[in-house]
Amino acid sequence: MKIDAADKANGELKRLIGKRIQTVRSRLGRTAKWVAIRMDIDRSTLSQIETGTIHINAVTLFKLAAILRCDIQDFFPTVPDSSSLTERDVELFAQENAQAAVFLKKAFKPKKS
């Protein structure tokens, strides 16, 4: 059971990272084709990255950040220190980013407020 939950959380994190990559790209007015050419990958591969259907490594994330001229941290959700995380923190986080909150709730067991 724990493996299934971890796999689900990993999938949600991949989708969240992919969505953030797509958001940065769109905000800059760059097409998927433009990015794919500079990454030397197929456009379909970039689509799989942005939908979170394939695993990507740190090198790929670094290249994407360089091409999009952003900080690699822009692709990741902010994760609070788990030792001080309360249920209220999780709820506030949920309001800001529902997808990241799902991952956060699965990744950490919050302390009672």
Evaluated on CA atoms 24, 27, 33, 38, the torsion sign reads negative
CATH number of the CATH domain containing 19: 1.10.260.40
Mean pLDDT calculated for residue range 32-40:
96
Residue type for position 14: K
Residues 33 and 82 in one domain: no
Indicate the number of domains in the chain: 2
Residues 21 and 62 in one domain: yes
Residues 45 and 87 in one domain: no
Residues 71 and 108 in one domain: no
Segments forming the whole domain that contains residue 15: 2-75
The whole-angstrom separation of Cα 43 and Cα 34 is: 9
In this prediction, residue 4 has a pLDDT band, given cuts at 50, 70 and 90, of low
In this model, does residue 109 exceed pLDDT 70?
no
Residues 94 and 71 in one domain: no
Query: What pLDDT was estimated at residue 1?
Result: 42
